Structure 1
Amino acid sequence: MHIPTLREILKSYLILITIGSASMIVITVKYMRKDLTGTVIDVKSWLKAAYFGCGINFIGYGERFAVLRYAHIDPNTKTFSIPCTERKPDYYFVQGGVKGNILTVKEWMKENILNDWMENMTVYSYYYIKKNRMSVIKTPTFAVNRVEAHNLYHAMCEWYSLFLISYLLNFDPKQVAILFMDDRPPNILDETWDTLFGEITRYNTIPSDNVYKALIWNIYGYESLMNIPTLTRLPYVTEFRNFILDSFKLPQHKSLNCNRLRITVILRRDYRSHPELTSGIVLRKFYNNSEVLGVVQSVFYGHEVRGIYLEYFSMKEQIEMITQTDILVGMHGAGMSHILFLPKHAACFEIFPKYVNYYTFFKAFSRWRRTKYVSWKNQDSDNEFPEFKTKIPIHVLVSHLKTLKRRVCI
Structure 2
Amino acid sequence: MRKKQTNRQKIFICLLVFLMLVVYICFIKSASIFRQVTTKKTQLKERTELDINSWFDDIYATCEGNVVAYGHEFFILKNVRLEQTNSLLFAVPCRSVDSKPYFFYSGYEGTPMTEWMLSITRRKDSEELIKVEYTFTVAIKRTEAHNIYHTLTEWFNIFVLSKHFKFNPQKVDVIFLDDRPPGAMDETWHTLYRRVYYAKNLPEPTVFKTLILSPIGYESPLRLPFLKKVEGIEEFSDYFLQGFGINERKKLNCARLRVVIIWRHDYNSHPERAEAGGTIFRKIQNEAEVLQQLKDSLPGHEIIDILLENMGMKQQLQLMAHTDVLIGMHGAGNAHALFLPSHAVLLELFPLDSPYDKIQYFRAFCLWRNLTYVSWQNEDKNNDLPNYYTFVPPTVIDTYIKSIYKGLCS
TM surpasses 0.5: yes
Q: Does 1:72 align with 2:81?
A: yes
- Is it true that 1:91 corresponds to 2:87 in the alignment? no
Q: 2:70 aligns with which of 50, 61, 70?
A: 61
The answer to whether structure 1 residue 287 and structure 2 residue 298 are counterparts is no
After TM superposition, what 4+ stretches of structure 1 lie above 6 angstroms from structure 2?
A: 3-6
Whether the aligned pair in 1 keeps the contact of 2:323 and 2:341 (CA below 8 Å) is yes
Give the 5 Å matches for 1:149-298: 149-276=145-272, 277-278=274-275, 279-298=277-296
> 1:344 aligns to what?
342
Instruction: Give, in angstroms, the shift of residue 228 of structure 1.
Output: 0.9
Greater Cα shift, 86-95 or 376-385? 86-95
1:392 equivalent in structure 2: 392
Partner of 1:365: 365
SS of 1:387's partner is: helix
Shift of 1:396: 2.1
For 1:46 and 1:34, the matched residues in 2 are separated by 16
Contact kept? 1:225, 1:234, Cα under 8 Å: yes
* More helix, by proportion: 2
1:88 Cα shift? 6.2
CA positional deviation for 1:87: 2.5
1:4 CA drift (Å): 10
Residue 194 of structure 1 and its aligned partner are, at CA, apart by: 0.3
Distance between the aligned counterparts of 2:229 and 2:375, measured in 1? Answer: 20
**Deviations 1:18-38, CA, capped at 9 Å, x for gaps:** xxxxxxxxxxxxxx446312x
Q: 1:124 offset after TM fit, Å?
A: 2.6
Equivalence for 2:122 = 123
1:194 and 1:293 mapped to 2: Cα distance? 35
Give the deviation of 1:45 after TM superposition: 4.2
Q: Report the AA paired with residue 53 of structure 1.
A: T
> How has the CA–CA distance of structure 1 residues 219 and 248 changed in structure 2, closer, same or farther, with 3 Å as cutoff?
same
- Aligned equivalent of 1:25: none
AA of the residue aligned to 1:73: L
1:47 and 1:5 mapped to 2: Cα distance? 19
Cα offset for 1:5?
A: 8.7
1:272, distance to aligned residue in structure 2 (A): 0.7
- Which residue pairs with 2:403 in the alignment? 403
Q: How far apart, in 2, do the equivalents of 1:335 and 1:217 lie?
A: 28
Partner of 1:24: none
Q: Is the 8 A contact 2:37 2:114 kept in 1?
A: no
* Distance across 1 between alignment mates of 2:198 and 2:102: 26
The unaligned stretches of length 5 or more in structure 1 are 14-31, 100-110
SS for the counterpart of 1:245 is: helix
Alpha-carbon distance between aligned partners in 2 of 1:287 and 1:46, rounded to the nearest angstrom? 44
Question: Partner of 1:307 in structure 2?
Answer: 305
**Conserved 8 A contact 2:37-2:102:** no
Please say if residues 75 and 208 of structure 1, whose CA atoms lie closer than 8 Å, have aligned partners that are also in contact: no
Native 8 Å contact 2:249 2:340 kept in 1: no
Given that 1:88 and 1:122 are in contact with CA atoms closer than 8 Å, whether structure 2 keeps it comes out as no
Shift of 1:295: 1.4
CA–CA separation in structure 1 for the residues paired with 2:54 and 2:142: 26
Larger radius of gyration: 2
Q: Which amino acid aligns with 1:137?
A: E
Is 1:316 aligned with 2:317? no
1:81 alignment partner, one of 87, 91, 94: 91
**CA offset at residue 399 of structure 1?**
2.3
Aligned residue in 1 for 2:136: 140
- 2:266, 2:54 → 1: CA distance? 45
1:86 counterpart letter in structure 2: S
1:395 offset after TM fit, Å?
A: 2.7
Q: What residue is the counterpart of 2:29 in the other structure?
A: none
Change (3 A) 1:94 1:355: same
Write the letter of the residue equivalent to 1:292.
V
Give, as a single letter, the amino acid of the residue that structure 2 aligns with 1:148: E
Cα shift at 1:275? 1.8
Cα RMSD, aligned residues only = 1.9
Q: Counterpart amino acid of 1:79?
A: L
